[in-house]
Amino acid sequence: MLLYPVLSLSPFPSPISNRSLRFRPRRRHFAPRHAVQCAAAASGRDEFTAKSGYLFELSTTEADSLAEYRIPKIAAVYGRKPLLVARRLVQTGLAFGKWFGLRYIDTLLDRSESMFQVRAAELRKILVELGPAYIKIAQAISSRADLIPPSYLDELSLLQDRISPFSSEVAFSMIEQELGLSLVELFSEISPEPVAAASLGQVYQARLRKTGQVVAVKVQRPGVQAAISLDILILRFMAGLVRRAGKFNTDLQAVVDEWASSLFREMDYNNEASNGIKFRNLYGSIEDVVVPLMYMEYTTRKVLVMEWIEGEKLSEVKDLYLIEVGVYCSFNQLLECGFYHADPHPGNLLRTYDGKLAYLDFGMTGEFTQELRDGFMEACLHLVNRDFDALAKDFVTLGLLPPTADKEAVTKALTGVFQNAVAKGVRNISFGDLLGNLGTTMYKFKFRIPSYFSLVIRSLAVLEGIAISFNPEYKVLGSTYPWIARKVLTDGSPQLKSSLENLLYKDGVFRIDRLESLLVESLRAKTEKVIVKQAAGTDSRVVMKEILSFTLAEKGEFVREIIVQEFAKGLDALGLATLETAAARVPFSGFFYSPVLTDEDITNLRTFQRLMLLLLGARRKEEFNTGSRQASHDKNQILYMEELSSVLNQVESVQDVLPVLSIILELPPESQQQLLQLPANLVRQLISRAAARTVRRVFL
């Protein structure tokens, strides 16, 4: 990954900076084409390469065979270099052996806890000195709670990819060699030294001679692919030993293979440019999101030229609005399109000087299948609603647990982990704390976490981490959940429809609380620059308009059908309650009239009350929460008619009805047309219920 620093540039058309290099005439000699050589061989300044210990050469044939991640090819190349492999294996073994030896001594001396900070810092230093493969793998597993103890996550998350640069002479030679043109033909000016350096490459700022556009030129570190190939071969061997010794459920060699494939794709700048183009096409039109333009004609496997984006790191500015923009963009990546930026660390997120959020570095991206998207949303719903039994099943769907897992034990563990966290309400759930608690459980029970899931979690955790640095009360899940709620309410996916139905109904009983919560939360799904109201119920007229607009729209069809169905049940119960109340006032009615109001009808009447309150935009008051009332069945017909009257009394005059009528007139013609069709649908449902009840009473 590349960390793009903020530069103070002079306005164009003046030179890029006082460090800019005016090109010399084209050099006559290029770097040798017959070998791929690490930078340290050409320049003693590259301390990172020297510490990494990969000062060696590969033939062109050998280097080309390592362009893609294929273990047999890698093994074949290094099988012919036993001394090189042995040297690297000894270097790696000694580094980790010394660290594990010290950890073992700490255990014997019962000082593991007190020495944690020291050992964690030592481990981080070892990873940096061992080179790019270990840096990248460590960064990848820093969110893998099933692979390492949670106590190490924080320390590894501090691992920075800021590495000493390699020689600019080598870099410029590589640019000319890869693009087949001299620097003077390509650029009118370029910075003489890199403006950023990382384990895989470094970046220069330049101006295209052809168009005058200011660009970032990314050049791959020579020899890095050969070095990573060797280290991956050793890592796979070590992973097999560790898995057998630690008895992990996760296939550690498969994890190494998966991340190695990702690293190899990241080292192919053609792939990164294609990812950037796709990301720009999908999300570049989102308001206040900027995605740099890729110049494919100047891009090869080792050189990438892209639009220069100038700004400040998002983590260094206090802009909560852009965090919300990032959350909205992440929602689109994860739950709408399924193509997401897999490495959104603070260095890859900039606030441009005109107040927009810029995404950089597209070497690591991921694909989120529709099934996994639906499963992720279901898991969030079940978590918020504390349905831990269903959450355990979601873990199977998401690949966190095998189908043979003990669901009862998992449910019990998840309840213990999440019960207190979600009791505070969705807007107060800390994503970081949630992840930490889950990580402890995962490590304890040896559960597995697919790599895609850790990337998804990381993308959200990074945003929360940036936000809480200047607003400790910020909760990314509280900002994400409204989009999830709206998606669940409007998505046409059969899986999500089934999930919504299961969420809203339990044993055939409609749970109005959950619909009310989903509707209210979905109304918070906004990204305006103005401060969004945290409680949608503060303005009844706004609530009425939002709910009507939402339920009458085409995407609200499924929710609309549920509301009409429950209204029909409520009106049916109202008719029965009215009949029963009237009959009770007739003398001696007990001799010729038997009560018809069942417990189900009473429940439907309560639901009807809540629906009236919701659609009228009124806040639910304690006196309307009749679920806790304990009334005798003989008094139900009077008690619930009084409760219903108290709801209907909210519309006591024409003045109270006018706001509702004015809202209807403001709705789009399509919504008004849908509204006109509702009475007919309601009547059909009422007739159907009455007919079914008559059949039951006559023939059963």
CA-based angle 223:227:232, to the nearest 5?
150
Tell me which DSSP letter residue 294 carries: B
The 3-state DSSP class for residue 119 equals: helix
Q: Which two tokens stand for residue 109?
A: 């001396």
Q: Which two tokens stand for residue 232?
A: 């991956």
Phi and psi based region of residue 251 (left: phi greater than 0; alpha: psi -120 to 50; beta: remaining): beta
- Cβ-in-10-Å burial (0-12, 13-18, 19+) of 355 comes to middle
Contact 108, 401 (CB under 8 A): no
Torsion of CA 443, 449, 455, 458, to 10 degrees: -30
Q: In this structure, which amino acid lies at residue 695?
A: V
The 3-state DSSP class for residue 72 equals: helix
Return the number of other C-beta atoms located less than 10 Å from residue 301's C-beta. Answer: 15
For the question of residue 257 being annotated catalytic, the response is: no
Q: Which two tokens stand for residue 326?
A: 């990032």
User: 467: number of CA atoms within 13 Å, CB side?
Assistant: 24
Q: Beta strand pairing status for 505-506 and 509-510? A: antiparallel
Q: Beta strand pairing status for 303-307 and 289-290? A: unpaired
Contact 178, 218 (CB under 8 A): no
Strand-pairing partners, residue 218, are 203, 304
Contact 675, 667 (CB under 8 A): yes
CA-based angle 125:130:133, to the nearest 5?
115
Contact 302, 216 (CB under 8 A): no
Q: Which two tokens stand for residue 102?
A: 């010290």
Q: Helix H segments across 202-340?
A: 224-246, 252-266, 269-283, 320-331
Strand-pairing partners, residue 339, are 367
CA distances from 38 to 35, 214, 301 (A): 10, 29, 17
CA 27 centroid distance within chain = 48
Q: Which two tokens stand for residue 369?
A: 């299948």
Cβ partners under 8 Å of residue 45, min gap 6? 164, 165, 166, 167
Distance between CA atoms of residues 47 and 573, nearest Å? 80
In the set 343, 394, 572, 601, the catalytic residue is 343
Catalytic residues: 343
